[in-house]
Amino acid sequence: MQVPPSVGVVTAQTARFDEPIVLKSGGELPGFWLVYETYGALNNDKSNAVLVCHALSGNHHIAGRYTLQDKKPGWWDNLIGPGKPIDTERFFVIGVNNLGGCHGSTGPKSANPRTGKPYGAAFPMVTVEDWVVTQAKLADRLGIERFAAVVGGSLGGMQVLQWSITYPERLRHALVIAASPRLTAQNIAFNDVARQAILSDPDFHGGDYYRHGVVPTRGLRLARMLGHITYLSDDAMGAKFGRMLRSGAYAFGYDVEFEIESYLRYQGDKFAASFDANTYLLMTKALDYFDPAHHYQCTLSEALKPALANFLVISFTTDWRFAPERSREIIKALVDNNRSVSYAEITSSHGHDAFLMVDDYYHSVVRTYMNHLAF
């Protein structure tokens, strides 16, 4: 087997911002830092930078490995690297852990410089708009005036949309993948059940569990199990697990019986051991709040009027979390504004998670778009 090309061993960097920042929620931070990674080289006129925005449980580690022995590469390593659809031989790619995250950027588990203790419940709500503003500060720091492209899937795609509204001049191309211009009632409902699982966990302690030396593992585990169901399609789950039993017969008990139970509990346990519950809450709220049309008290077309970027919008047929209909709403709003937009609806059985997976057609759409991209 040929080893696929990769950006190789990478190291995360940190950018400190010492000036206070006021967030959309009205909350403020005395300063903050963002952890980020870069792949490829910035060209002389700094015109080949691509910003990749992460989704709910993502982070800045998008491609490559931290050591040669590292078994797991970054979360979008199949898309980003030398010769890959987003080609690091050509582009300077940046991944950043969003403010409020739990992978190195300032978030609820970070020490509040005013108290020396973790922020916990005192960490303010963050929104997609706040992320875009803080990502722009990082771009300033790196000397990048305008991105060749801003790219993101799911919640990451929402950040791309917001970039096109907040900083129309600062991106030439916007790649909005498996995203939505706003959550539906059902999306919010699932998020609320996930939040209630965390908030009602006795180990949550109102968000200040750090100083109690516990973690709301039960709640976070349930939240992730539930999330996972919405990331997969009914068909994909049926094809992969169906009604397969771990042993051939019913056990008539509450331990794992069906393979799908085993899979979900494993995913829940793994996530609960590595992710911060307060960050999970913040991310789901940022999802709920994102709604450019609401924010500007107008239609989506009016909200997207400032956008100047050229758009590539991609959806996946079996994605029932952010269905193709949602992407088509974005298309309509862009067309209403005479924006240049390409749209690909990818046939896939993998539901929402398809945006993270290898699919020849999907990857060739991204590759072709990126290859022809002027910067």
Q: Which residues are catalytic?
A: 154, 319, 352
Closest CB 275 distance from its own copies, rounded Å: 17
Q: Which is nearer to its own copies, 26 or 143 (CB)?
A: 26
- E strands in the chain: 13-17, 21-22, 28-29, 32-39, 49-53, 80-81, 86-87, 92-96, 147-153, 171-177, 310-316, 341-346
Closest CB 87 distance from its own copies, rounded Å: 37
Contacts of 2 (CB under 8 A, 6+ apart): none
* CA atoms of 35 and 66, how far apart (whole Å): 14
Q: Which is nearer to its own copies, 165 or 237 (CB)?
A: 237
118 DSSP 8-state letter: B
Q: State how beta strands 21-22 and 171-177 pair.
A: unpaired
Q: Is the dihedral of CA 38, 10, 78, 128 positive or negative?
A: negative
Q: Which residues make up the interface to its own copies (CB under 8 A)?
A: 25-27, 124-125, 182-186, 188-190, 192-193, 195-197, 199-202, 218, 221-222, 225-226, 228-229, 232, 234, 237-238, 240-243, 250, 252-254, 257-258, 260-261, 264-265, 268, 281, 285, 288-289, 291, 294
Closest CB 10 distance from its own copies, rounded Å: 35
Residue closest to 229 by CA, chosen among 240, 217, 218: 240
* CA atoms of 134 and 214, how far apart (whole Å): 31
Q: Which is nearer to its own copies, 71 or 243 (CB)?
A: 243
Q: Which is nearer to its own copies, 132 or 232 (CB)?
A: 232
Closest CB 188 distance from its own copies, rounded Å: 5
Neighbours of 351 (CB within 10 A): 25
Angstrom CA distances, 58 to 260, 302, 365, stand at: 23, 30, 23
CB 68 within 8 Å of CB 9: yes
* CA atoms of 246 and 327, how far apart (whole Å): 39
Q: Which is nearer to its own copies, 196 or 347 (CB)?
A: 196
Q: Which is nearer to its own copies, 37 or 201 (CB)?
A: 201
Rg over alpha carbons for the chain, rounded to the nearest Å, is: 20
Angle among Cα 375, 160, 141 to the nearest 5 degrees reads: 65
Q: Which is nearer to its own copies, 40 or 219 (CB)?
A: 219
Closest CB 254 distance from its own copies, rounded Å: 6
CB 90 within 8 Å of CB 48: yes
Closest CB 289 distance from its own copies, rounded Å: 6
Closest CB 124 distance from its own copies, rounded Å: 8
Give me the residue label for tokens 């609960």.
272
